[in-house]
């Protein structure tokens, strides 16, 4: 079952990359190209992603049916920081809100100040996703599950 969960998590991470790609493709900062807008206009759910298979949709729906939420870990950086009122702000906050909407399940932020603690929480499945894992050959062997 652990391999199956890793496969689904990998699929969700790949989806995250697609969302980042489309949300970051713009000709000018702050302005999306017409092509990008057209591609993203109809994407209101993971089911709307071009090329997603029925098997992938079923696998994601199965995973979501077993969870009330997902945790999304991030280091304390300019991408995720606490404001004076205690709330979080930054790109990571907006990204987790986008994922929550697309998957229909909350992505709850988990702030880390220590890389080792965050990595341990990912490895132990205490944290579901993290924004800090740059793909390296070693990490691909550990975390990437290819069907």
Average pLDDT over residues 82-104: 93
The pLDDT of residue 139: 86
Provide the pLDDT confidence category of residue 132 given band limits of 50, 70 and 90.
confident
* Average pLDDT of the chain to the nearest whole number: 79
Provide the pLDDT confidence category of residue 56 given band limits of 50, 70 and 90.
very high
Kindly report the number of other CB atoms within 10 A of residue 45's CB atom. Answer: 13
CATH number of 77's domain: 3.40.190
In the chain, how many domains are there?
Answer: 1
Per-residue pLDDT at 18 exceeds 50: no
In sequence order, the β-bridge partners of residue 72 are: 109, 129
The pair of structure tokens assigned to 59 is 């696998």
Instruction: Give the pTM.
Output: 0.68
The pLDDT of residue 92: 93
Q: Over the stretch 93-102, which tens digit does the pLDDT of each residue have? A: 999 999 999 9
Burial code (b: 16+ CB inside 10 Å, e: under 16) for 108-122 equals ebbebeeeeebbebb
Per-residue pLDDT at 116 exceeds 50: yes
Domain that holds residue 127: 2-143
């Amino acid at each position: 079952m652990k391999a199956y969960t890793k496969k689904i998590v990998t699929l969700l991470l790949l989806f995250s990359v697609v969302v980042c790609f489309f949300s970051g493709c713009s000709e000018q900062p702050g302005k999306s190209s017409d092509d990008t807008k057209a591609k993203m206009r109809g994407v209101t759910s993971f089911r709307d992603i071009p090329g997603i298979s029925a098997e992938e949709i079923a696998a994601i729906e199965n995973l979501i049916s077993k969870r009330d939420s997902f945790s999304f870990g991030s280091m304390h950086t300019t991408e995720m920081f606490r404001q004076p009122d205690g709330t979080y702000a930054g790109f990571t906050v907006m990204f987790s809100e986008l994922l929550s909407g697309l998957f229909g399940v909350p992505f709850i932020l988990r702030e880390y100040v220590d890389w080792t603690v965050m990595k341990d929480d990912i490895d132990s499945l205490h944290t579901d996703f993290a924004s800090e894992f740059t793909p390296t050959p070693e990490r691909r062997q550990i975390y990437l599950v290819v069907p």
